[in-house]
Amino acid sequence: MTPVDVQRRFRTEPGDLYRLFMFVGLLFLGLTHLPNAIYDVANSRIIATLTMLGVWRYCWWLVHLVRAQLYARFVFPRYRSQCEAIWQGGWRPRRVVYMLTTFREKRETTEKVLGSIVEEARTSGIPTWIFFGTSDRSDEVIVEDFLQHAARNIDVKLVFIRQNLPGKRVAIGLTLRAMCRYNIHPDDLIFFMDGDTYMEPGILRRCLPLFHLFPKLDAVTTDERAELVGPRWMLDWTNMRFAQRHLAMQSQALSRKVLTLTGRLSVFRAHNVLSERFIRMVESDYLDHWLWGRYRFLSGDDKSTVYALLSKPGSAMMLYVPDAVCCTIEHVEGGGLERTKQNLLRWSGNLLRNGRRCIALGPHHIGLFIWWCFMDQQIAMWTTLAGPFASITLAILDGPWVLVATVLWILSTRLVLSLVLFIYNGRINIWYPVLLYFNQILNAGVKVYIIFRLSRQRWRNRGDQKSEGSSGWLATWQSLMANYMTAFYLGLFVLAVGAYFRLLVLPDPRVMLRMLGMG
């Protein structure tokens, strides 16, 4: 078997190239013929600062790109060669265990997920156990009907675990506890899978030998793609995010750690996930907050699993397998904007909740690079908003042509970043510069909003679960305080950026002291 390119095969089509050349041509005409007030000498401080912020962000992108290329072209190919030798030599794990959860999934989706498991069991010849966490008998009927005719003459064992409380975390916890009652060896390999995610062929061959090659390897996660039934722009946005993820994950894996072990598909050693500490963290993970008190995580089980491994004594070893691919099937109704907003609220909230405690582990425990990656996620939301705020304020003071120049600047810089994402996506998509900026601004805004409301959670595509908050006067006080803190920090941000760019004139401190009778 020839491994899939870790870089994704790049496909060029005449239409894509034509649209790219048109985009670059129009951008060049705009830069050379439209008034660019932002280049006036009076605005040099804004230019210098935006350039400084841009250089910082671009250098960080460049660091990730270099590290990702090192991993993809030098480090991982060596791993792949060794793993192929292990597999060709006849090594196989004693069994493969799948932990799946589902919630009233469409029949065709469930059958496609199970079909990928059955095909891997058939081609690999490895005994397979499937522990299926369900919430409704209808899901179980679909699974039974499919396996009865598709899994004949192969070694597949099926166990259902019916959850008695709502929520994916409850389903995972009950399923893991059920596994503890079976004869699962500590070194058995357990796949965590979502009920809407299927494996592309060869995933066992690409992932499992890594655990034999590295006896201390705790977990691996894979590349992701999407089959999205819904608006075309949302599919483009999802593919762009997965291209960013593909780059970042390879960069992180060079440190033999990753920032998240996706719940869509990750593989763990059994002794890690069947420990009481791990199970309790996944099923009832929580944080203590000065305003919201103790609140449980509604979603974000992938953040809990990675923290459980990172925080254990000696930390953990985790790898990204860029030539192993899982695919998520998503059905989006309507225009998709509301679903996008809700997804970002959920993802950004989980990221902020988990990031702070991972930072608290310290660079000595998780490594300097991974520690700084967590730090950067907390900082980037403010630096992203500095440019738009300065441009809008300057447009109010100097005229609307500043906004034209800003748009040209945004499209130019995001086009440069998109050229890299084209490679990691495997195809040119001319909408990436726009979608990239849309994603950055919306994500930053969502983070600023959610940072003081971390207990507010909602999961629309899992039965529309909502967090249970306080009531009465306490809820009113918490809401008012969250609004106050958001306004306070935004006010400080506006003052700091405005004063630095000299868009706001602050009074002389000596005058203020005299007015207060202190001078």
| Cβ-based neighbours of 114, under 8 Å, separated by 6 or more | 143, 146, 147, 150
List, as one string, the DSSP characters of 173-211: HHHHHHHHTS---TT-EEEEEETTEEEPTTHHHHHHHHH
Q: In which band, very low, low, confident or very high, does the pLDDT at 453 lie, cut at 50, 70 and 90?
A: confident
Of 172, 155, 141, the closest CA to residue 308 belongs to: 172
Query: Are residues 447 and 348 in contact, defined by beta-carbon separation less than 8 angstroms?
Result: yes
> What confidence score (pLDDT) does residue 395 get?
73
Of 284, 98, 262, 106, the closest CA to residue 188 belongs to: 98
Q: Which two tokens stand for residue 293?
A: 């008190």
Q: Which two tokens stand for residue 152?
A: 């004949």
From CA 366, how far away is CA 358, in angstroms rounded?
8
Q: Which two tokens stand for residue 229?
A: 């039934």
Q: What is the per-residue pLDDT across 240-273, written as a single tens digit (0 to 9) for each?
A: 999 999 999 999 999 999 999 998 999 999 999 9
Question: Treating both helix axes as pointing N-terminal to C-terminal, what angle do 368-398 and 432-450 enclose, rounded to 10 degrees?
Answer: 100
The one-letter amino acid at 179? M
Integer-rounded Cα radius of gyration of the chain? 25
Q: In which band, very low, low, confident or very high, does the pLDDT at 49 lie, cut at 50, 70 and 90?
A: low
Q: Is the pLDDT of residue 36 over 80?
A: no
Q: How many residues are recorded in the chain?
A: 519
Name the β-bridge partners of 466: 458
Q: Is the pLDDT of residue 413 over 50?
A: yes
CA angle 134, 99, 355 (to 5 degrees): 105
Q: In which band, very low, low, confident or very high, does the pLDDT at 480 lie, cut at 50, 70 and 90?
A: very high
Of 233, 265, 271, the closest CA to residue 249 belongs to: 265
Q: Which two tokens stand for residue 455?
A: 């207990």
Chain mean pLDDT for the chain: 87
The one-letter amino acid at 71? Y
In 324-363, which positions are buried (b, 16+ CB within 10 angstroms) versus exposed (e)? bbbbbbbebeeebeebbebbbbbbbbbbbbbbeebbebee
- Sheet with strand 197-199: strands edge to edge: 156-162, 128-134, 96-101, 189-194, 265-269, 219-229, 318-331, 197-199
> What confidence score (pLDDT) does residue 2 get?
43
Lowest mean pLDDT among 63-77, 150-164, 497-511: 497-511
Q: What is the per-residue pLDDT across 124-145, written as a single tens digit (0 to 9) for each?
A: 999 999 999 998 899 999 999 9
Query: pTM, whole model, 2 decimals?
Result: 0.88
Q: What is the per-residue pLDDT across 289-328, written as a single tens digit (0 to 9) for each?
A: 888 888 788 778 899 999 999 999 988 999 999 999 999 9
Of 413, 391, 407, 402, the closest CA to residue 36 belongs to: 402
Q: What percent of the chain has pLDDT over 90?
A: 53
What average pLDDT score do residues 102-130 get?
95
